[in-house]
């Protein structure tokens, strides 16, 4: 799942992933991202931080709160233009898997996804 208020970037990343064998969903707000998370239970979420309404850190925290009583945690990759050590440390404090600094190319997002969630061959 890709959650980013930049609809062009969000769709470009989703298309890149789909063209490389991944099933994807997109959401353009944190609120919609949480609704889709509840409905679809994705394996991986690519999550922008700076969004109107609920930001990416709040989305990640809400997901982790909902997963408290389970052993299965959704992998979350934060994508943000804010690469300060504070932003990165807040990301890891909220239980994220990885952090990508924007601007980031869709092929670099794909490489990160492949590293975290390799496709099964066979």
* Mean pLDDT by groups of 10 residues along the chain of 122 residues: 96 97 96 96 94 91 87 88 62 74 91 91 56
Q: Are 47 and 69 in contact (CB under 8 A)?
A: no
pLDDT at res. 114 = 96
pLDDT for 95 equals 73
Beta strand 44-48 with 98-101: parallel, antiparallel or unpaired? unpaired
Q: What pLDDT shows up at residue 81?
A: 81
CB 62 within 8 A of CB 31: no
* CATH class of residue range 2-103: alpha beta
pLDDT for residue 3 = 97
Please, what is the Cα angle at 46 between 107 and 91, to 5 degrees?
Answer: 115
Cβ neighbours of residue 35 closer than 8 Å, sequence gap 6 or more: 27
Q: Are 55 and 81 in contact (CB under 8 A)?
A: no
Q: What is the pLDDT of residue 72?
A: 79
Beta bridge partners of 76: 45
């Amino acid at each position: 799942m890709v959650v980013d208020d930049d609809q062009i970037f969000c769709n470009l990343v989703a298309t890149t992933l789909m063209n490389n064998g991944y099933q994807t969903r997109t959401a353009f707000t944190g609120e919609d991202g949480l609704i889709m998370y509840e409905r679809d239970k994705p394996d991986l979420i690519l999550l922008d931080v700076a969004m109107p309404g609920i930001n990416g850190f709040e989305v990640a925290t809400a997901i982790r709160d909902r997963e408290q009583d389970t052993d299965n945690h959704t992998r979350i990759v934060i994508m943000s233009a804010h690469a300060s050590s504070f932003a990165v440390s807040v990301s890891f404090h909220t239980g994220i898997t990885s952090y990508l600094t924007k601007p980031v190319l869709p092929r670099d997002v794909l490489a990160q996804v492949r590293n975290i969630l390799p496709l099964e061959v066979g």
